[in-house]
Amino acid sequence: MKHYDYVIIGSGIAGLYTALLAREQGHVLVITKGSIEDCNTRHAQGGIAAAIGQDDSPDLHYKDTIAVGNGLCDEEAVRILVNEAPARIAELVNIGVPFDTLDGRIALTLEAAHSVPRILHAGGDATGEHIEVTLSRRIRAARVPVFEYSQAAEILVEKNSVAGVKVLDCHTGATEIFQCRHLILATGGAGQLFKFNTNSDIATGDGIALAFKVGAEIMDMEFFQFHPTALHLPGVTPFLISEAVRGEGGILRNVKGRRFMPDYAPQGDLAPRDVVARSILYEMQKTGSDQVYLDVTQLSPYVITTRFPHIYRFCLDHGLDITRELIPVAPAAHYMMGGIKTNSWGETNVSGLFATGETACTGVHGANRLASNSMLEVVVFSKRIMERTARGAKAGPSAALKRREIHCKLSERKATGSFPRPSFASLQKLTWNHVGVIRDRAGLTKAADILAVWQHKLPPPTDRPSHELHNLVLTGRLITEAALLREESRGAHFRSDFPRTSEEWQQHIVFTAG
């Protein structure tokens, strides 16, 4: 049985960046269920936010983040995020991330709900790919061991402290146990829960499920961000059309060609994502269409092809020249704000268990994520995990942060009647229809009943697909039950039967097993 100081589950920016830091403090192993190149980070077209511009400041970045979070951002965590951002950017530059420059300075652009341009990009609209490739190259050069095609199947705990992890070889079906002092979950989100999503196929809620089963607290799961503009072409998997396209002047139009966002929000096309996503759905309903259009034809072809080369090339490969034609778009599941509850050092309530990236809930996003804060959150809090473990400190209770919380267990549901058989396709359809952009009690109750039945009926997992289905069903239950409990609309969570925000619900919903 092999023993490591750090075992890191996941090979996106969160896992690889943490591994680079951890290798300076002990023996490290990275475990990933696909290849090192399979991750959501590659799909991140937007960028990384940091107050490094002359007209910007951490205080201004703080105010923008708090405003978008709709009363649920953890103020201490946000202060940490914005104050430590410039130093983390400098580290990324030092390890070779090729951020775009203009006249010798890092170029900064504007995205929705930011008051000034503060978004750093690499390769125009290929920021995530450039960061991930840089990190993976450094990991290989440093000879950090990476176990690819290995599914984390179970966290091993002794006396509420992590002892190791059981891992399934996705090729042979054999299992192996790795002991460790520190287990860091960097498994990404759960976008594959929904029929229409912008995520890689690895985003199946693995970290959430693994952590929940060993007693870790799971928080804010009702807040799932739906990106308003995913490419909507017949037979083409939803492809993210970055929010930065609207930041550069892209205009949303309905199928009749009319600009509609000023009807819904004073910020127009640059309103927060949740507002834009719902507005698009309302406009689709009004016009009887399954899409709207994003218009960039008023921009010069040079700007489009140099600022968004990846988007331009992808669309052109599918017969669409966005310099001359409108881009058909519709909302799609994009980012999970909730996750494994951590304190400001990435610690969970299980000693030795840490979480970082999308699978973690640090509290910085609140009810809605400010664009491009997600990759920043990764590097800031991954660094803090290493600072914490370097001091040899024991994990402290995550409740050290001042949060108003409701603590819950998953309800025991005794649903009757006939239900569809559990499958990946039926799960995606169920959650998209009833736990999507717009929710209500009837739909959420139906989904909660079916998910509870499925969770009990699924046979024990034996391979990667069955593990992923188990993890998605459990993650789906946590999202659905949280959405059913929260009888208000706030940020990315919208209830048509409770359309207003309630002061009573300015608190976090936290689930624990047992």
Dist. CA 68–CA 51, nearest whole Å: 17
Q: Pinpoint the alpha helices (H) of 227-357.
A: 244-247, 273-287, 301-307, 309-317
Rounded mean pLDDT of 464-468?
97
Over residues 354-390, the pLDDT tens digits come to 999 999 999 999 999 998 999 999 999 999 999 999 8
Would you please indicate which residues are annotated as catalytic (active-site) residues?
273
Residue 14 reports pLDDT greater than 50? yes
Confidence of residue 211 (pLDDT cuts 50, 70, 90): very high
Residue among 105, 144, 106, 131 nearest 42 (CA): 131
Residue 397 reports pLDDT greater than 50? no
Q: What is the pTM of this model?
A: 0.93
Which residue reads 């410039």 in tokens?
Answer: 86
pLDDT of residue 46: 64
Angle between helices 58-68 and 75-94 (to 10 degrees): 120
Over residues 131-156, the pLDDT tens digits come to 888 998 999 999 999 999 999 999 99
Nearby residues of 391 by Cβ (< 8 Å), 6 or more positions away: none
Rounded mean pLDDT of 73-77?
96
Which of the residue ranges 5-9, 62-66, 135-139 would you say has the lowest mean pLDDT?
135-139
Over residues 437-458, the pLDDT tens digits come to 999 999 999 999 999 999 999 9
Domains of the chain in start order, with CATH, are: 2-148+342-400 (3.50.50.60), 229-333 (3.90.700.10), 405-511 (1.20.58.100)
Residue 256 reports pLDDT greater than 90? yes
Of all residues in the chain, what percent carry a pLDDT higher than 90? 82
- 169: three-class secondary structure by DSSP: strand
Concatenate the DSSP letters of all residues of 386-408 into one string. Answer: HHHHHTTPPPPPGGGS---EEEE
Over residues 171-201, the pLDDT tens digits come to 999 999 999 999 999 999 999 999 999 998 9
Strands 224-231 and 239-240: antiparallel
b vs e for 82-111, b when ≥16 Cβ sit within 10 Å of the residue's Cβ? Answer: bebbeebbeebeeeebebbeeeeebbbbbb
Mean pLDDT of the chain: 93
